[in-house]
Amino acid sequence: MNEPVYILGGGRTDFKRNLKKEGKTIRHIIVEAGKKAIEDAKIDPGEIQAAAVGNFNAGQFTKQLHLGAFIPEIDPKLHGIPTMHTEAACASGSLSVLLGAQWIMGGFHDVVLVVGAEQQKTMSSLDGSDVLGAAADYHIEKPEYGDFMFPKLFGRIAQIYIDKYGASPDDLASVAYKNYAHARLNPMAQMRDANLTYDYASQVSEKNPTVAPPLRVTDCSQITDGAAAVVLVSGRYLDRIGRDKSKLPHLLGFGSTTDYLALEKKDAPTFSTARKAAEKAFGMANLKPRDMNGVELHDCFSITEIVAYEILGLAEPGKGYELAKSGATALPQVRGEHLSGKIDFEIPVNTGGGLIGDGHPVGATGVRQVYEAYQQLTNQAGARQVPNAKRYLTFNMGGSLTTSVAMIWGR
- pLDDT of residue 379 exceeding 90: yes
Q: Which among 178, 184, 172 is positioned nearest to 217, based on CA atoms?
A: 172
Mean pLDDT for all residues in the chain: 97
Name all domains of the chain by residue range, CATH numbers in brackets.
5-123+224-247 (3.40.47.10)
Q: What is the pLDDT of residue 1?
A: 59
Pairing of strands 215-216, 294-297: unpaired
| φ, ψ at 12 (rounded to 5°) | -155, 170
Number of neighbours of residue 67 by Cβ within 10 angstroms: 21
| Over residues 255-261, mean pLDDT | 98
Q: What is the pLDDT of residue 226?
A: 98
For the sheet with 403-410, list strands across it: 83-86, 50-54, 111-118, 226-234, 5-12, 250-258, 403-410, 391-398, 294-297
Give CA angle at 177 (181, 314), nearest 5°.
95
> What's the distance, CA 353 to chain centroid?
10
* Confidence grade of residue 217 (pLDDT, cut at 50, 70, 90): very high
| Over residues 186-215, mean pLDDT | 96
- pLDDT of residue 50 exceeding 80: yes
Q: What is the pLDDT of residue 213?
A: 95
Q: What is the pLDDT of residue 397?
A: 98
Number of neighbours of residue 252 by Cβ within 10 angstroms: 23
> Could you tell me if 106 and 47 are in contact, meaning their C-beta atoms sit under 8 angstroms apart?
no
Pairing of strands 111-118, 50-54: parallel
Number of neighbours of residue 226 by Cβ within 10 angstroms: 31
> Could you tell me if 331 and 325 are in contact, meaning their C-beta atoms sit under 8 angstroms apart?
no
**90 carries an active-site annotation:** yes
- Mind listing the pLDDT tens digit for each residue in 143-178? 999 999 999 999 999 999 999 999 999 899 999 999
Q: Give the H or E element holding residue 101.
A: helix 92-105
> Could you tell me if 180 and 202 are in contact, meaning their C-beta atoms sit under 8 angstroms apart?
no
pTM value? 0.98
Which of the following is catalytic: 28, 109, 182, 360?
Answer: 360
- pLDDT of residue 117 exceeding 90: yes
**360 carries an active-site annotation:** yes
- In sequence order, the β-bridge partners of residue 395 are 297, 406
> Could you tell me if 353 and 260 are in contact, meaning their C-beta atoms sit under 8 angstroms apart?
no
Give CA angle at 310 (304, 314), nearest 5°.
115
Which of the following is catalytic: 90, 109, 298, 300?
Answer: 90
- Overall size of the chain counted in residues: 411
* Confidence grade of residue 10 (pLDDT, cut at 50, 70, 90): very high
- Mind listing the pLDDT tens digit for each residue in 318-365? 999 999 999 999 999 998 777 777 778 899 999 999 999 999 999 999
Q: Which among 45, 78, 85, 405 is positioned nearest to 251, based on CA atoms?
A: 405
Burial class (CB in 10 A: 0-12, 13-18, 19+), 377: buried
